[in-house]
């Protein structure tokens, strides 16, 4: 089916988010003060602006995952686990890999339910965010 194989790992490259991008996303979808205000963020435990967790995922999902795999999607069924482990700051380089960690036939649609694990790492190689999501894909 397409070239989906259990255990397959795909390098989605690296990216950074600017102060402006972080603030714009947060004002629209996650308006907590440590995401929307440089000044207010200084007084929080983060001591400065950090990106919204969902921003990190949606940025790379739209830019890299959808162009590669979007045409094969029948539907998404949800997110199994999504951990915001370390803060991500403006200009910080984030590397992303996605791995197929589960595959099973999906009877209603006749497709294949794939469990994708996204891993986000900082410059030191430390995990900053992980997300597992199940998506049903078309068979070839």
Nearest to 130 by CA among 102, 77, 94: 94
Write the CB contacts of 18 (distance below 8 Å, at least 6 apart in sequence): 90, 91
Which residue in 10, 73, 101, 103 binds its own copies (CB under 8 A)?
A: 73
In angstroms, the CA 92 to CA 14 distance is 10
The yes or no reply on residue 13 touching its own copies (CB under 8 A) is: no
- 7 versus 107: smaller Cβ distance to its own copies: 107
27-46 residues in contact with its own copies (CB under 8 A) are 28-34, 44-46
How many residues touch its own copies under the rule CB under 8 A: the total is 30
- 53 versus 94: smaller Cβ distance to its own copies: 53
- 22 versus 53: smaller Cβ distance to its own copies: 53
User: Of the listed pieces 14-22, 82-90, 94-102, 113-121, which binds its own copies according to CB under 8 A?
Assistant: 82-90
Which residue in 37, 92, 99, 109 binds its own copies (CB under 8 A)?
A: 109
In angstroms, the CA 87 to CA 79 distance is 20
Which residue in 13, 77, 104, 126 binds its own copies (CB under 8 A)?
A: 77
Q: What is the DSSP letter of 90?
A: T
Contact 49, 19 (CB under 8 A): yes
Backbone angles phi, psi at 131, to 5 degrees: -145, 135
């Amino acid at each position: 089916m397409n070239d989906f194989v259990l255990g397959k790992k795909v390098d989605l490259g690296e990216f950074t988010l600017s102060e402006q991008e972080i603030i714009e996303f947060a004002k629209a979808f996650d308006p907590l003060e440590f995401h929307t205000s440089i000044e207010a963020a200084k007084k929080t435990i983060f001591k400065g602006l950090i990106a919204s967790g969902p921003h990190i995922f949606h940025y790379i999902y739209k830019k890299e995952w959808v162009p590669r795999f979007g045409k094969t999607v029948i539907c998404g069924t949800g997110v199994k686990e999504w951990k915001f482990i370390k803060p991500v700051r403006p200009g910080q380089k984030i590397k992303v890999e996605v791995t197929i960690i589960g595959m099973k036939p999906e009877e209603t649609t006749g497709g294949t339910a794939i469990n994708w694990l996204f891993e986000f790492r900082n410059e030191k190689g430390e995990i900053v965010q992980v997300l597992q999501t199940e998506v049903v894909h078309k068979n070839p």
